[in-house]
Structure 1
Amino acid sequence: MKKVIAVFAAFLMVFCIAGCDSGKKPQESAVTTTADPNSIEVPDFSGLTRVQIEMKYPKLNIKFDEKYDDSAEEDEFISQTPSAGTKINKDDEILVEISLGGKLVEVDDYTGRNIDDAKTLIEKQGLVCDIVYDDSEAVARNCIISTMPSARTMVEKGSTVICYVSLGSAVQEIRVPDMLGMSIEDASKIAEENSIGLTITYDNTSILEPGTVIKQGVDPDTVVEPNAKVEVVIAGENASAIRRTTITVNVNSSLEGEFEIKYYIDGTLVPEKTEIKEISLTRKIEWELSGTDVHTYSIMVTSRATGQTGKLYEIEVDFTTDPPARNILDSNVNIFRELMNA
């Protein structure tokens, strides 16, 4: 009987010891020591967060330095000093840099701005611009109604800013713009901005500036449906056939006096080019020409002092050749002196 009691007592003792051991708390991560009991090897903290480092190495003298870093998420390890594996005194300080995330930038107020301009500015801040279109009675077409996040919000670089852009009124009133005199490029751009399509034809008999609108099929300010087609007539032939050249006439600047200078194409005055020049301040007269056919260009001068008029220069230019063929018909660089002495 005594043997049975002794065996039972021994069994209880083993069971209690095992139960007590199983309730022990997990130990902290071991730090590699060296032959010197006061010396340790610095652990490798890479891949750990600040909380994980504090939990695994509570006895180390770790100083944390938090900084913004675009390459690391918030609370992630960036670097350590000394580096992993370095032998140090166990009480020495270890500096660990922890990321605060990407540097924050402030979203500007883009309300009312044209979306093209705003997109450029947003991307310059290191942010991504996402565009959502919506009808708006109050905000002009292609301008920003609002943003998300809103203005003055601090966000990380690389964040997306959603721009809500106006399509204009849900019921749009489209008015035909005045495109007369515009280049074909400018006319096409303004038509697109006003939701209008263009049907383009060319008039190679026109003496007006090639490549410009000389007629439009719908009067300016006429109300039309969105995407309506408007016919425009362009002076000259297709732009790909237009060639250019420049004529230059040197002037004797030792003379003095004011002269009115007029320019003619095939005998027709180009009134917008008429100008007054003080001859003593003028070294040369230049005229940029363009066309698709053969034209004659003349420059006439009138002395403001005597009222006398004469021809300074006349040239025939054939734009059907490349480069344009030039044939000088008349040139009188002494015309200024002759008119002053008339």
Structure 2
Amino acid sequence: MKKKEKKVGKTFVWKLIRPFVAAIFFGFGLLLSGYLGLFVLHAYFATSEIEVPDFSNQDLLSVLNTANKLGIYVEVMRTESNPQLPPQVVIHQIPPPGSKLKKGNRVKVVINQVSVASSQEGGPGETAETIVVPDLRNFPVEEAEELIKSEGLKVGKISEVFHESVPRGCVISQSPPAGSKVNKDVAINLLVSKGGEEEVALIEVPDLVGLRIQEARNVIQQRGLRLGEIEEVEVPEKAPEVVIAQKPLPGEKLAPGGVINLTVNKKIEGLKEVKLRFPLPEAKQPIEVKVVINDQLGERVAYRRIHQGGETVEISIPSKGAGRVIIYLNDYYYWEKELR
């Protein structure tokens, strides 16, 4: 009788404390999930942020190249005149060097535009055909190019950056500066505005994976973007000269003229096509077909796809040299073939 009373007492006590125990475990689970969520969030932002480099006294073209590699944009706030510094170099930047900046954001810079008064008049290099460089600032780039040519000069490099006040397509600054005396056929470099942030319609990056390199190149150009680096790798199970990866990824946004880098499957010499045709057993549930090939290029999964029971599967697999093909259905051995 006493044993029974003790058992009843323990059961009663357990019923009383069980909700508290459950609440403790529930609270611990929430705390753990919250901590893991914060950790993942911190990891995401840590990988998507970069440290802003020091652009001071660097020429604008170098700044643009560095910014492009880091995945950030450059916007010219204004130009200032400092005769003590070379033209087209950065005088000031926002945010300052060492700051953290998320990829896709902008660094605003002030660049040096040497004034007319600072240019030397005359000099040992001056000839009878010396030409005074015209002031091209705020001209549409097409008109600026025509004016350069009409003066007997050449159009040099044309760089584009965002600018808060100069309209898109117009000249922000030039090198050599206006009023400089130069010889005939000297190249005039132009810095052209891409407009302010609100004027620029960002372009969605297309999905290029699976396209041949020339097709991908055409799509990139049609979207107003530029093809960057092309990396070649050997992936035997993929078709040669086809895009297998890209950066940025499809769906991301780029400013007009943004760069897309591609990874392309290299053409492998001596490949042959192995054609396979086999029926699948009748089954109510879908069947996963996996084809593993082992040849001179090594062992790899050359095909993996879901089929319905009773289907006849026809596939073609690139291969090199002697080896063996093994077919698995739902990861169970089904059939194999030797390659000669």
Tell me the TM-score normalized by structure 2.
0.31
Richer in helix (by share): 2
Q: Rg larger in 1 or in 2?
A: 1
Tell me the TM-score normalized by structure 1.
0.31
